[in-house]
Structure 1
Amino acid sequence: MTLTFVFIFIYLTLSLSLTAIDMRKGLLPDALTCPLLWGGLLWHLLCQPQKLAAAVWGAIAGYAGFALIYWGYRTLRRREGLGYGDVKFLAALGAWHGWQNLPWLISLSSILACTFIAACGLRSGKWQAIKNPLPFGPFMAAAGLIAGWQTFGLSAIYLQL
């Protein structure tokens, strides 16, 4: 159980750092996304080896899914519609949460982003297209934290307290 808490601390630290950097600079650096990905795989190897295959496929599917969107949009529109850091971040989330949770993570992060945009529109009273890129990393991190409640077994720990 103690080892799981060490990995949860690593997960939270890296996710919150990525959120702060993406909000400030619009980047998700490899120096944080790669350790997050490897940390997820290592956590499964050491703490949940029965779910390691799902974690590996989660990393592969997360990377491949967003890379396909990235390259498809870039080919059609001749500009980025999604940063490549988001591709790597989803791969890392797939490593932590498994391939089965990827549709939920993507849907929840999209809902959170749309809610944020709507709230900003309501607050400012201006309903216009976003001219600046919207950092998607914070919404992915929030979705990962929400999904983490079940992934890390925290709901079971909470119920035992």
Structure 2
Amino acid sequence: MTEAVIFLLLGIAAYFDWKCRKIPNTVTFPALAAGLVYQWQAGMGWTAVAGVAGAFLLTVVPVVLRGMGMGDQKLLMAVGAWVGWSGVYPLFLHSLWVCLAVVVFLPGTWRRLGRNMHAIFAGWVAHRKIWLPRNKEAALSFPYAVPLLGAYLVQHLWR
């Protein structure tokens, strides 16, 4: 059941992230709460709490640096509530590999990344542009829920 819920959650989130570039709280918060309740009743409450806390800690730096949105963070926390730390950590690592593959295969990302790398050497103004860009101007601006869904599917194909 857990796998079906996570697949549905990631599928819905990927759709919204792809279309609107925003994952609604009406998707993430109920999933997070349901995961905590489900795991608590299964006697795995602390595992779920560790998954939520671990997902938060994994994503806090990217969110602060605006490399990731808070909707992505809440999505990973919701997944952590369902699978715990031992499930969310490998999923996060695999999603980074999928993100890297997206960067390699999307030349438009190369141009943005190249412009931002060039701007690094231009001083403080460039520093603010790189580390505090608007969402659409970020060096690696793409919907994270899609690579997260891809990583989840890859994990289950390799089992």
Gaps of 5+ in 2: 114-136
The count of aligned residue pairs is: 133
Q: TM-score, normalised by structure 2?
A: 0.70
Aligned pairs for 1:1-161 (under 5 A) are 4=1, 8-46=3-41, 48-49=42-43, 51-71=44-64, 73=65, 80-121=66-107, 127-129=110-112, 131=137, 133-147=141-155, 149=156
Give 1:86 deviation, angstroms: 1.1
Q: Secondary structure at 2:67's aligned position in 1?
A: coil
Give 1:82 deviation, angstroms: 1.4
| 1:71-95 deviation digits (Å, cap 9, x = unpaired) | 2x2xxxxxx2211101101111111
Note the aligned Cα RMSD (angstroms).
2.6
Gaps of 5+ in 1: 74-79, 156-161
Aligned sequence identity (%) = 22
Q: Is the 8 A contact 1:93 1:144 kept in 2?
A: no
Deviates more, 1:99-108 or 1:17-26: 99-108
Work out the CA distance in 2 between the residues paired with 1:127 and 1:138: 19
Residues 45 and 146 of structure 1: CA distance in aligned 2, closer, same or farther (over 3 Å): farther
Work out the CA distance in 2 between the residues paired with 1:105 and 1:12: 13
Work out the CA distance in 2 between the residues paired with 1:12 and 1:56: 20
Q: TM-score, normalised by structure 1?
A: 0.69
